Amino acid sequence: MIAPYCNTEAMNCFLQQLGAQYSHYRIVLILDKAGWHISRNIHLPDNLVLMHLPPYSPELNPVELLWREIRRKYFHNKIFNSLDDVEENLITALADYHKNPNAIMKLAHGYSYFNKIDGG
């Protein structure tokens, strides 16, 4: 098991690189409340603000919305003969979404929580 401080260190490294790469932008990063996302040991670059999702709100997390759609469209009522078949089906699903990025953007469209960020 990875110690929590390792996750915080990795998070700090990621945030510093993100802030440096986009130093001319103001970044609002939306996170769930994983332990290393709310740690007091997080060091934010000046151009970055963290915005946490409310608890028990998977419908607001774009990753959760994507997984829900993949399960519904690619895995519903299917029986697989092997774990390799499951993996191939997932690869197909992710490739389909990769070819159509607008499909992912539509998943979060309409949620007022996200509209607060860009004024939408």
Q: What is the pLDDT of residues 61-94, one digit of tens each?
A: 777 888 889 999 999 999 999 999 999 999 999 9
Instruction: Return the DSSP state at 82.
Output: S
Look up residue 53 and give its amino acid: L
Q: What is the pLDDT of residues 3-32, one digit of tens each?
A: 444 578 888 899 999 999 999 999 998 888
Domain ranges of the chain: 4-52, 59-118
Instruction: Return the DSSP state at 100.
Output: -
Q: What is the DSSP string of 12-81?
A: HHHHHHHHHHTTTS-EEEEE---GGGS-TT----TTEEEEEPPTT-GGG-HHHHHHHHHIIIIITT---S
Please enumerate in sequence order all residues whose Cβ is within 8 A of that of 19, keeping only pairs 6 or more positions apart, or say none.
27, 44, 45, 46, 47, 48
The predicted model scores a pTM of 0.52
Class of residue 26 by CB neighbours under 10 A (exposed 0-12, middle 13-18, buried 19+): exposed
Q: Is 108 helix (H, G, I), strand (E, B) or coil?
A: helix
